[in-house]
Amino acid sequence: MTAAIEILNVEKRFGNVGIIHGLNLSVAQGERHAVIGPNGAGKSTTFNLISGHIAPTSGEIRLNGDVISGLRPFEINRRGLSRSFQVTNVFARMTVWENVRCAVLWATGHRYAFWKNVDDLPEVRQRTAEILDDINLLHRREVPAGLLTYAEQRELEIGITIAGGADVIMLDEPTAGMSHAETERAVALIRRLTEGRTLVIVEHDMSVVFGLADRISVLVYGHIIASGTPDEIRGNPKVREAYLGEEAH
């Protein structure tokens, strides 16, 4: 089976500064893959590379076997990859309902249609309501997204990401800044919503990582130092030294 995501020897430099070097990563289809690493390791940059937000300086990225490096984000999204952002990135002046509905429109085939009444599309309405129900924001649907609480905005961020029905979901620190109870709820949500899909998640909370992930990759200074099952990662001395040890002090 071809890997959902395959990163081959990717390099990313910003000017003279090399942020990502010799990055190789493979995420199997249907796998829940966590990427961990210290602050500034390049986790978000890796997400930006995969999702087309930035182009690699060299190397190749494949989605389901097709080369996607160099494509624009919307082209990659249309091929079935959707990502969330570490810093909430929603449509602030539009309501919660509209935020999710916008994310549903392309996937339901309405594209740039300027001849259809958007309120008159049953499948769009149905799917929007389902997503809002999933992320527990149905009762807040008329509120402008900019006025939501922080935790609600994070949930909306996830909702927008999954609304298009992409097979590959990438979440960048979805639980950052959440309370313990909120985190638990969010993890249950992520587990349920990504059932049967491929998930790549960046997360600092180790209990979340080890509870959720099938496989874990450890990124340090723009390079993956280890990749394996949670047990393998826990037992890996290089990881303990470079990352987990640092966490423990």
Partner 1 sequence: MSVAAPSASDIRPVARSQSLKFYGIWVIVAIGLVVLPVIFSSGGSLTSFSLIGIAIIFALSYNILLGQTGLLSFGHAVYYGLGGFAVVHMMNAVAAHGWPLPLPFIPLVGGLGGFCFAAVIGWVMTKRAGTVFAMISLGIGELVASSSLILRSVFGGESGITTDRTALPHMFGWSFGPQIQVYYLIAFWVMIAAIAMYALTRTPFGRICNAVRDNPERVEFIGYDPHVVRYLSYCFAGLFAGIAGGLTAINFEIANSAYLGAVQSGLVLFATFIGGTAYFFGPILGAILVTYLQLGLTSLTTVWQLYFGIIFIGIVMFAPGGIAGILMMHRPLLRAGTLGTVIPSYLLALLPTLVLVGGVILGIETIAHYTASQGEGNVINLFGIPFNATTPSTWIIAIVTTIGGFLVARMTWRRIVEAWDRAARGARDQGYLA
Ligand X SMILES: Nc1ncnc2c1ncn2[C@@H]1O[C@H](COP(=O)(O)OP(=O)(O)OP(=O)(O)O)[C@@H](O)[C@H]1O
Element (H, E) at 184: helix 180-193
Q: Cβ closer to Mg ion: 83 or 215?
A: 83
Q: Measured between alpha carbons, how far is 46 from 222 in angstroms, rounded to an integer?
A: 8
- Look at residue 67 and give its three-state secondary structure: strand
Q: Measured between alpha carbons, how far is 197 from 220 in angstroms, rounded to an integer?
A: 27
Binders of partner 1 among residues 92 to 121 (CB under 8 A) are: 92-94, 97-98, 101-103, 105-107, 110-119, 121
Cβ neighbour number for residue 79 with a 10 Å cutoff: 16
- Asked if 220 is part of the footprint of ligand X (rule: CB under 6 A), the reply reads no
Segment interacting with Mg ion (CB under 5 A) among 3-11, 40-48, 76-84, 240-248: 40-48
Segment interacting with partner 1 (CB under 8 A) among 26-34, 91-99, 184-192, 207-215: 91-99
- Asked if 89 is part of the footprint of Mg ion (rule: CB under 5 A), the reply reads no
- Look at residue 146 and give its three-state secondary structure: helix
In the complex, least distance from residue 20 CB atom to ligand X, rounded to whole angstroms: 8
Q: What are phi and psi of 62, to 5 degrees?
A: -120, 145
Q: Measured between alpha carbons, how far is 114 from 129 in angstroms, rounded to an integer?
A: 22
230 binds, among Mg ion, partner 1, ligand X, none (CB under 5 to 8 A by kind): none
- Asked if 71 is part of the footprint of partner 1 (rule: CB under 8 A), the reply reads no
Q: What are phi and psi of 179, to 5 degrees?
A: -70, 170
Segment interacting with ligand X (CB under 6 A) among 33-41, 57-65, 128-136, 238-246: 33-41
Return residues touching ligand X (CB under 6 A): 14, 19, 37, 39-45, 86
